[in-house]
Amino acid sequence: MKPTNPVFTGVKTTIFERMSRLAMEHAAINLGQGFPDVDGPKDIRQSAADALMAGPNQYPPMLGVPELRQAVAAANKRFYGLEVDWQREVMITSGATEALADAIFALIEPGDEVILIEPLYDCYLPLVQRAGGVPVRVRVTPPDWKLNVKALEAAFTENTKAVLINNPMNPCAKVFTEAELGEIARLSRTNDCYAICDEVYEHLTFDGHRHLPLMTFDGMRERCVRIGSAGKTFSLTGWKVGYITASPNLLEPIAKAHQFVTFTTPPNLQKAVALGLAKEDSYYHGLAGDLRVKRDFLSNELAQLGFAVLPCDGTYFVTVDVTPLGLNGTDEEICLRMVEEAGVAAVPLSAFYVSDAPTNCIRFCFCKKDSVLKEATDRLAAWLKGLGLSG
């Protein structure tokens, strides 16, 4: 039979799904895939339940229900001072993943180069490749994950169509600085490029690190596709409600991609997310504040066990370097042993690299109940002790 498309054929199932399956198989605590173990606000969930029963449950408008598009525009103004026309500049998608696919399919032509910053979130590469784009990678490296502006500058060519950034950045928990974003904006302008901005962790930043959308930078209002996700903002990752903000000239073709990918997103979930976006400031501060406490707890415990804990300024994740412990094997091998022998699932950082991956770092997810984080670190302590590596 003729071959199926090589971008997807023979590709491994994502590391998140694999680790979650292994966690279930071994009754392990799952600090791998990024999802909270407590569902988001009750009023949002109740509103979704009410809207489901009240109906209608038929196709909502393709761009999204007006309440949610208005709420996304209002949130852009409230959090970032962005003036957004909800009718022409906002579209609702089935998760940020769909938003990324729509944006990439709409903006990229075969042969266009797309700059990706590595370590990179898993769907970026296949989506760019499936669009016929040519990925060009620029790496940020631990421990500070600083953007090397010279390397970024060198990555631009006359064929560059877009740069794709994830800010705050999964997996390395980096929040891009104003200076770094200023350089990305400058290079996007001088090279006449678009910027696809995956900002799903926009509200999950800590210690005074503030999320700045690239869209707010000089000359970037018309060049950026800004993507958010209710999954992260309201601890409802299974809902898969995403939102795009982009100027009409970009949103128009992106909406055309959307109409052939999912066309719409469940209307009751959209209405409930509109309620969420209008929540008072205390909700947003509370979300980041609670996560910061969890980050501190897990980071301190892991440091005490002997891991070298890397800085974490945002997201759900903390990364550790395993080198000081003297564990044998690659990050992937260590994660496989850890889930089986220690009963704790994590994610090897090498999964976020295309090639020449570092193999000494592991990502732990900390958006879990305090008791779960404690049990996980107790299990790790016992495991390491058994191996004669600590305690």
Contact in structure between 276 and 74 (CB atoms under 8 Å): no
Q: Phi/psi at 342 (nearest 5 deg)?
A: -95, -20
Phi, psi of 208, rounded to the nearest 5 degrees? 80, 0
CA 51 to chain centre: 28
E strand map for the chain: 29-30, 90-93, 113-118, 134-139, 160-166, 194-198, 224-229, 242-246, 308-309, 317-321, 344-345, 347-348, 361-365
Scan for tokens 């889930």, then name that residue. 339
Residues 26-45, interacting with ligand PMP (CB under 6 A): 34
Q: Which stretch binds ligand PMP (CB under 6 A): 57-65, 91-99, 284-292, 318-326?
A: 91-99
Stretches 13-21, 64-72, 148-156, 251-259: which one binds ligand GLN (CB under 6 A)?
Answer: 13-21
Picking from 206, 267, 201, the residue whose alpha carbon sits closest to that of residue 34 is 201
- Identify what 36 binds: ligand PMP, ligand GLN, none; CB under 5 to 8 Å per kind: none
Q: From the list ligand PMP, ligand GLN, none, which binds 65 (C-beta under 5 to 8 Å, kind-based)? A: none
Which residue number, 33 or 377, has a Cβ lying nearer to ligand GLN?
Answer: 33
**Do 309 and 364 contact (CB within 8 A), yes or no?**
no
Q: Is 316 in contact with 201 (CB distance < 8 Å)? A: yes
3-state helix, strand, coil in the chain (%, to 5): 45, 15, 40
Tokens of 200: 């799903």
Dihedral angle of Cα 368, 371, 373, 377, to the nearest 10 degrees: -170
Q: Which residue in the set 40, 64, 213, 242 belongs to the binding site for ligand PMP (CB under 6 A)?
A: 242
Which range binds ligand PMP by CB under 6 A, 92-100, 155-163, 258-266, 322-330? Answer: 92-100
Q: By rule CB under 6 A, what count of residues binds ligand PMP? A: 14
Question: Do 318 and 299 contact (CB within 8 A), yes or no?
Answer: yes
The CA distance from 76 to 69, in Å, is 11
Q: Which two tokens stand for residue 133?
A: 């784009």
Task: Give residue number: closest CB to ligand PMP.
Answer: 95
A 10 A CB-CB count for 61 gives 13
Please pick, from the candidates 29, 34, 221, 313, the single residue that binds ligand GLN as defined by CB under 6 A.
Answer: 34
- Segment contacting ligand GLN by CB under 6 A, of 9-17, 134-142, 218-226, 326-334: 9-17
Does residue 276 touch ligand PMP according to CB under 6 A? no
Q: Which is nearer to ligand GLN, 258 or 363 (CB)?
A: 363
DSSP element (H, E) containing 254: helix 248-261
Helix (H, G, I), strand (E, B) or coil at 196: strand
DSSP letter, residue 338: I
- Residue 94 lies near ligand GLN (rule: CB under 6 A): no
If contact means CB under 5 to 8 A according to the sort of partner, which of ligand GLN, ligand PMP, none does residue 163 touch? none
Among ligand PMP, ligand GLN, none, partner that 352 touches (CB below 5 to 8 angstroms by kind): none
Give CA–CA dist 317/312, Å, rounded: 7
16 binds ligand GLN (CB under 6 A): yes
- Of 128-187, binders to ligand GLN (CB under 6 A) are 170
User: Of ligand PMP, ligand GLN, none, which one sits near residue 16, judging by CB under 5 to 8 A according to partner kind?
Assistant: ligand GLN
Q: Which two tokens stand for residue 329?
A: 């094997």
Any contact of residue 33 with ligand GLN (CB under 6 A)?
A: yes
Kindly indicate which of the ranges 14-22, 43-51, 110-118, 376-384 contains the residues binding ligand GLN, using the contact rule CB under 6 A: 14-22
Least distance CB 238 / ligand PMP (angstroms): 9
| Least Cβ distance, residue 231 to ligand GLN (angstroms) | 8
Of residues 199 through 218, those in contact with ligand PMP by CB under 6 A are 200
State the residues that interact with ligand PMP by CB under 6 A.
34, 95-97, 121, 166, 170, 198, 200, 229, 231, 237, 240, 242
State the residues that interact with ligand GLN by CB under 6 A.
14, 16-17, 33-34, 170
